[in-house]
Amino acid sequence: MSATRRMYRGLARLLPRHVREEGGGDLELAAVACLEAARARRGRPGVTVAWVGLVADVAFTAVAARRDAARSRILASSAAPRRGVIERMLDNLRKDLRFAVRSLVRQPGFTLVTVLTLALGIGANTAVFSVLNGVILRPLPYPQPERLVYITSQFPTLDFDQFWVSPPEFVEYRERNQVMASVGAYSVGSATLGSDPPSRPVRAQVTPDLLETLGVPPMAGRPFEAADSAPGAAPVAILSWELWQRGFGGDRDVVGRDVLINNVSTRIVGVMPAGFDVHDQKIELWTPFIIDPAQLPGRRGNHLLYLIGRLAPGVTMAQAQADLERQLADWQTLAPNSHTPSPDRHRLRIDPLKEDMVGSVRRALVILQAAVAFVLLIACANLANLLIARADTRSREYAVRSALGASRGRIFVQLVTEGLVIAVLAAIVGTGLAWAGLTALLTVNPDAIPRTAEVSLDWMVLGFTLGVAMLTAFVFGLVPLAHLSKGSVGQALKDAGGRSAAGSVRTGLRSMLVIGEVALAVMLVAGAGLLIRSFVNLMQVDLGFDRAQLSTFRVVLPGNAYDPPAQVAFYDRLLGELRAIPGVTSAALTSGLPPLRSVDANDTDFEHIPNNRPPGTQPAENVDFWQGISLDYVDTMGIPVVEGRGFERPDLQGPPVALVNETLARRFFEDRSPIGAHVKPGFGDGTPWLTIVGVLKDVKQGGVDSGAGTQLFLLNDQLPRVAGFSYSQMNVVVRSPLPLDALAPQFRRIMHGLDAALPIVNMRTMDEVVGESVARPRFLTLLLGVLAALALALAAVGTYGILSYLVTERRKEIGIRMALGADRRQVLGLVLGRGLLLSGLGLAAGLVGATALTRVLANLLFNVTPTDPVTLGAVTVVIAAVALVACVIPAFRATRVNPIAVLRNG
């Protein structure tokens, strides 16, 4: 109970002294009695309500007792007890608050516009900055994250950067480096978990040192040990917290249980803590990456690992870099004449892990932040404008109060209080907007930005924006005070609503604010316009296939249940049943689904290009994308055959054949025809030469905004015979005018009938696949578009505001002009001209700023230059139209000024 008493004692300090003296020490006991009575009647909720009652009681008593005191002072004319300074200040604060709230309630329009304007600025700023903070500024969720580095390979001659590292390279780097406390490696794919029904979580195969390098131990069970990655080790796995919750109901006894992973009984040895991840891959299942020292020499070209290292204490990035150069210089001596790292043709690179995770979106987020800052600036300019306008209308009020004896200090405090009330209201609404905006942002596009799991509403940012808003309210709330310099009071009293020198100065200030606002809005709209245009270009890119009416899903055949001929037979049955669905035109398979997949970059021999050639004289014999396809793939996708033919039924049993794309034909055959030429994919020894029988039109594989890359198409049905393997993971593509919703049950039925243990993964329409591949630019465009619209609206409000004020201010002048014979058109011209002049100046300033600023957008744009005249022209038209609308309303109001009324009333 003593805590309750202490709380109430603090509250009771707000009570007037005579009431406190009346109660003495019993005041708190009386409060406790109320709380006890409430608890006895209604339990805990009652206590809460009673607390509200106590607060209300104190507030009411504070106000009412003052009335009592005033009354008794007047009636009894007895000397009032002397009151302390703090009490007087609190008293004044109460009065000011009451006054501020009353005057804001009296002008609901002003209050609404001000609060909304500020709230939008605060809300947008907080939402975007929260994302920025979570993604870029906040450290990675590992201990000492600044010491984590990311190690990748580079092939300068092939133009590959941040490529994978092969197992021998990993082992050698781990042994030879002198700067790392530890180095781990991982490879991400997916695995089939369980059998009835199977699921397909994202799986990372990691070396046991990876978890140690990241420095996060499992929350239950044990981490991987070195023995787990030895060849022949008993299979083990660690679950992510999320998979543990979703797949195992958070069962504590899961550790030690055996589950099926890719049809192999695997023991679960641990569970990672919630949110633990590598590289934002949303990994759900961790298994050891098996390294067999006996097989390492043969895996030099097998680039499939990403490396993460932890720098030893005291080691800098520069030292790590130097250590790497030292290793590169003599790496060739480890395995001469083989695919070994070297200083020029096959480098490794080291980057800070964080730089790698957020580097790609850093620029986009910084641009967004700048855009939000613009919106906040515009909002503040609007707020300033509104406050100045209000100050003008109230200058008489302040003059009167000043004449009646209010000190400048009291008026000052009161103005500040009003600003504070506005800022606090705006903060409340703005926090709501920020929260809603953030939620919307993260639900619209969770995958477009990394590290979204760590994003939450940022109170620091909220505080910062609130501070900016308060400062604005504070500074511009003081404007009327400038009017009240000594001696000007009489002037203000006489100057009944007319113009004064101070008034025209303020009009100038307000005009500057409007020009600034319009300029900022122009820059934002120009930036958004460029991104929109760029996105439209992106969507109009010819993908090389007809994506309408295509549905797709993924099939994964476990290697221990299906040998290559069985895989081909399975695919054949599957395609047969799919084609039999009524309404399905055709069905086919591809191992690589366009338009966005990771590059294969596989060594591929061309018969006409001599081996052992001097470096640099011929293109490196490496093809960006390989894909195994079924017979009908080219037809199903609608890919045009440019030269020769596609795969045909006789090829199933015939000699080995291949298709290439236009880019490959150009790169390796220049102006000759590739038809009939021979190519040998690097499957291993004994692979026969394949004859190229056709050239296909380029299909996007590396993203809509990239070139097509070189592509080699293999007939999967031939592969078991030709290369002794077949693709075990295939994307099924089905062409049908039916919607996916109608097809999906059929797909499931067919798959279940063929093999109930196989999961169906990634069932989507091809339109969705394409949409996901451009998620990030779409996200940025959407956000910047929204911000630009917001800026435009705020600038329009600002323009409208100053013109309305102008009309009010010059009513008398307009009335006289009309009385002297000015017609409506001239009056219209007077106001419109003023408005358009301001907007025009803002537009010009904005366009200059835009040409300077849009440069930073350059590498986010696609087929648009940062100074694209069409976009800037469109922006000009849009801004001019909005400005015109904002000007027209006050201009028409000016024409309705009644000269007689104006002249009579003065």
Residues making contact with another protein (CB under 8 A): 8, 12, 15-16, 18-20, 22-31, 33-34, 37-38, 40-41, 50, 53-54, 57-58, 60-62, 64-65, 68, 72
Q: How many residues does the chain have?
A: 906
Residue 22 or 813: the one with the smaller Cβ distance to another protein is 22
Q: Provide, rounded to whole angstroms, the least separation between the CB of residue 57 and another protein.
A: 4
Residue 9 or 494: the one with the smaller Cβ distance to another protein is 9
Q: Provide, rounded to whole angstroms, the least separation between the CB of residue 79 and another protein.
A: 14
Task: Give 15-29 as a DSSP string.
Answer: S-HHHHHHHTTHHHH
Q: Provide, rounded to whole angstroms, the least separation between the CB of residue 512 and another protein.
A: 51
Q: Provide, rounded to whole angstroms, the least separation between the CB of residue 50 and another protein.
A: 8
On the question of a cis peptide bond just before residue 197, with omega within 30 degrees of 0, the verdict is: yes
Contact 444, 782 (CB under 8 A): yes
**DSSP letter, residue 135:** I
Q: In angstroms, rounded to a whole number, what is the distance separating the alpha carbons of residues 401 and 133?
A: 47
Contact 646, 659 (CB under 8 A): yes
The amino acid at 898: N
Q: Provide, rounded to whole angstroms, the least separation between the CB of residue 73 and another protein.
A: 11
Contact 751, 760 (CB under 8 A): yes
Residue 722's nearest CA partner among 689, 748, 763, 696 is 689
Q: In angstroms, rounded to a whole number, what is the distance separating the alpha carbons of residues 662 and 694?
A: 10
**Residue 486 CB partners (closer than 8 Å, separation 6+):** none
Residue 69 or 97: the one with the smaller Cβ distance to another protein is 69
Q: In angstroms, rounded to a whole number, what is the distance separating the alpha carbons of residues 26 and 8?
A: 12
Residue 74 or 496: the one with the smaller Cβ distance to another protein is 74
Residue 27 or 441: the one with the smaller Cβ distance to another protein is 27
Q: Provide, rounded to whole angstroms, the least separation between the CB of residue 87 and another protein.
A: 15
Q: What is the dihedral of CA 575, 581, 586, 589, to 10 degrees?
A: -30
Q: Provide, rounded to whole angstroms, the least separation between the CB of residue 23 and another protein.
A: 4
Residue 4 or 321: the one with the smaller Cβ distance to another protein is 4
Q: Positive or negative CA dihedral for 559, 563, 564, 569? A: negative
Separation in Å, CA 441 to CA 30, 444, 791, 881: 51, 5, 18, 30
Contact 149, 309 (CB under 8 A): yes
**Residue 403 CB partners (closer than 8 Å, separation 6+):** 489, 493
Using alpha carbons only, how large is the chain's radius of gyration in Å? 37
Contact 150, 352 (CB under 8 A): yes
Q: Provide, rounded to whole angstroms, the least separation between the CB of residue 59 and another protein.
A: 9
Q: Provide, rounded to whole angstroms, the least separation between the CB of residue 92 and another protein.
A: 20
Residue 772 CB-density burial (10 A; 0-12 exposed, 13-18 middle, 19+ buried):
middle
Residue 60 or 459: the one with the smaller Cβ distance to another protein is 60
Residue 58 or 861: the one with the smaller Cβ distance to another protein is 58
Residue 64 or 436: the one with the smaller Cβ distance to another protein is 64
The amino acid at 237: A
Phi first, then psi: give them for residue 629, nearest 5 degrees: -130, 165
Q: Provide, rounded to whole angstroms, the least separation between the CB of residue 85 and another protein.
A: 22
- Helix/strand/coil (H/E/C) assignment for every residue in 316-366: CHHHHHHHHHHHHHHHHHCCCCCCCCECCCEEEEEEEHHHHHHHHHHHHHH
**DSSP letter, residue 133:** I
Residue 21 or 258: the one with the smaller Cβ distance to another protein is 21
Q: Provide, rounded to whole angstroms, the least separation between the CB of residue 26 and another protein.
A: 5
Residue 20 or 672: the one with the smaller Cβ distance to another protein is 20
Residue 259's nearest CA partner among 246, 268, 250, 251 is 268
Q: Provide, rounded to whole angstroms, the least separation between the CB of residue 60 and another protein.
A: 7
Task: Give 532-596 as a DSSP string.
Answer: HHHHHHHHHS--SS--TTEEEEEEE--TTT--HHHHHHHHHHHHHHHHTSTT--EEEEESS-SSB
Q: Provide, rounded to whole angstroms, the least separation between the CB of residue 95 and another protein.
A: 19
Residue 40 or 318: the one with the smaller Cβ distance to another protein is 40
Neighbours of 549 (CB within 10 A): 16
Q: Provide, rounded to whole angstroms, the least separation between the CB of residue 98 and another protein.
A: 18
Residue 12 or 236: the one with the smaller Cβ distance to another protein is 12
Q: How far apart are the first and last CA of the chain?
A: 68
Q: Positive or negative CA dihedral for 335, 337, 338, 339? A: positive
Residue 19 or 561: the one with the smaller Cβ distance to another protein is 19
Residue 76 or 318: the one with the smaller Cβ distance to another protein is 76
User: Residue 863 region, left (φ>0) first, then alpha (ψ -120 to 50), else beta?
Assistant: left
Q: In angstroms, rounded to a whole number, what is the distance separating the alpha carbons of residues 719 and 628?
A: 8
Q: Residue written as tokens 């009386």?
A: 30
Q: Which residues pair with 539 in a beta bridge?
A: none
**DSSP letter, residue 305:** B
Q: Provide, rounded to whole angstroms, the least separation between the CB of residue 29 and another protein.
A: 6
Residue 59 or 750: the one with the smaller Cβ distance to another protein is 59
Q: Provide, rounded to whole angstroms, the least separation between the CB of residue 93 and another protein.
A: 18
Neighbours of 372 (CB within 10 A): 26
Residue 19 or 481: the one with the smaller Cβ distance to another protein is 19
Q: How far is CA 184 from the centre of its chain?
A: 29
Residue 24 or 615: the one with the smaller Cβ distance to another protein is 24
Q: Provide, rounded to whole angstroms, the least separation between the CB of residue 91 and another protein.
A: 16
Q: Provide, rounded to whole angstroms, the least separation between the CB of residue 56 and another protein.
A: 8
